[in-house]
Structure 1
Amino acid sequence: MELYLIPNDPVNTTFISSDGFLRYWVRTSRPLSSLRACSSIIQRPVAHATNDQETLGEITWGGLGRHSVIHSDLFRGRAEVAGGKPVKVRDLLIKTVYRLGLVSSSRCFIGNDEEEYVWKFCKGTGFQVFRTGSVKAIYEHSPSHVAKGVFKGQFKTCLRIHPSCTLDTDILVMTFIIMEKKRWDSLGDQVNVATDKEDSVVEASGMEGGSGLM
């Protein structure tokens, strides 16, 4: 399965499948005060009702000595979120060293299948997810020319989920947003923030698109 980011901005974007349907969207609020943290809400359409949506989680981004935290039922089984408490991002995506080719740093997490997985950024390719101990990526993020579907012939940033992937797609999308946001923050002004020409959701989705902090 392919999910395309429109626009290419991890905290204000939509995830569109190759058949033109909206699968997820992310909106980030701008705080009234610079001393307050901004929050990103991740939602998806309710099955068979594209005008209704359910919230998968909310990420409050850290800064000025604060830790980034996430509120989501996706991670309800973790001890850190028992009783409805948020989990710190650093406890969800744990820093580790995982050597594979030129990649030496990564973050690992436990999937819904209780297996350990590793997020790594591969220069020239993008983010990838591996099951710990495996050299075969089950999830890839990279910009590329689209060969088929509603975006055929266009250059888009794509999340490609391999058929062998047994991880919950909701968890993959949620953790990807965190990893890509951290990468953008580390690059600062160097990051390419140019968005796709199609910065609104295709009409086939039945939803409104948009970009920019609200």
Structure 2
Amino acid sequence: MNLYLIPNDPERTTLVSANGVAQYRVTTAKASALRSAALTRIERPAADATRGAGTVAEVEWRRWGAHACVRSSVFDGDEQTLEVRELLYKLGSTFSTARYFLGNDNEEYRWKYAKGSGYVLTKRSTGEEVARHTAELVKEGYFKGERQWALKIKPGCDLDIDLIVLTFIILERRRLEKSTKQSSEEHGEEPCEGGIEMSG
């Protein structure tokens, strides 16, 4: 399954299937004087009749060094609130960009950023690729002939697609935020508030 990110922005995007149907919508309300943290909401639009419309998850990007939290029922069917660092955890090196999580199938999965492409999701026990964020020239379907960024999910995947989308959106937003912050610092600009720390 290919989910095309229109546009390729983890804060505000629609993930669209090859036939042009919106599968997920991602919106982010920025932090302000009245809101203590930015809030990203991932929703399934009404067009998805198989799983029904509704909120998949909300991610609260807390400020002032507090850890981001995610509220969702994708973990075990009951709504839970977890710190992002509990959902997407590190193993091994402190400086590794890889993040792990436990899937709904009780298997451990790893997201790792690949230069020249994007994040790649693999099953830890086998190393088998499950999903990949990459740009491609679309050969068929609604976006035929266009170059689009897509989250490509392997067919027959046992892992809940909601969980794939949720974890990908969190990591891609963190990566872009870190990249923006580094770019601002290199140019002597003050980074925007409302961010999250990458160390968590």
Q: TM-score, normalised by structure 2?
A: 0.82
- Runs of 4+ that moved beyond 3 A: 46-49
Separation of aligned partners in 2, 1:125 and 1:97? 23
**What residue identity is the alignment partner of 1:44?**
R
Q: 2:83 aligns with which of 79, 88, 92?
A: 88
Q: Kindly report the root-mean-square deviation, in angstroms, between the aligned alpha carbons of the 2 structures.
A: 2.3
Structure 1 stretch displaced more, 40-49 or 130-139: 40-49
* CA shift digits 1:2-36 (9 cap, x unpaired): 00000110010000000010000011112331872
Closer, same or farther in 2 for the Cα pair 1:147/1:190, shift >3 Å?
farther
Q: Secondary structure at the match of 2:74?
A: helix
Separation of aligned partners in 1, 2:120 and 2:49? 31
Structure with the greater relative contact order (CA < 8 A, sep ≥ 6): 1 or 2? 1
Runs of at least 5 residues in structure 2 that lack an aligned partner in the other structure: 184-200
**What residue identity is the alignment partner of 1:92?**
L
Matched ranges for 1:9-88 at <5 A: 9-33=9-33, 36-46=36-46, 47-48=48-49, 53-76=53-76, 85-88=80-83
**What residue identity is the alignment partner of 1:161?**
I
Amino-acid identity (%): 38
Aligned to 2:193: none
Aligned to 2:188: none
Maintained 8 Å contact 2:58/2:70: yes
* CA shift digits 1:26-59 (9 cap, x unpaired): 111123318721001110024449xx83111110
**Shift of the alpha carbon at 1:144?**
1.4
- In the alignment of these two chains, the number of paired residues is 179
Separation of aligned partners in 2, 1:92 and 1:156? 29
Runs of at least 5 residues in structure 1 that lack an aligned partner in the other structure: 99-103, 192-214
Structure 1 stretch displaced more, 33-42 or 117-126: 33-42
Closer, same or farther in 2 for the Cα pair 1:149/1:113, shift >3 Å?
same
* Alignment of 1:128 onto 2:120: yes
Q: 2:144 aligns with which of 135, 139, 152?
A: 152
Matched ranges for 1:89-104 at <5 A: 89-97=84-92
* Alignment of 1:116 onto 2:111: no
Maintained 8 Å contact 2:36/2:62: no
Aligned to 2:196: none
Matched ranges for 1:161-200 at <5 A: 161-188=153-180
Separation of aligned partners in 2, 1:95 and 1:62? 20
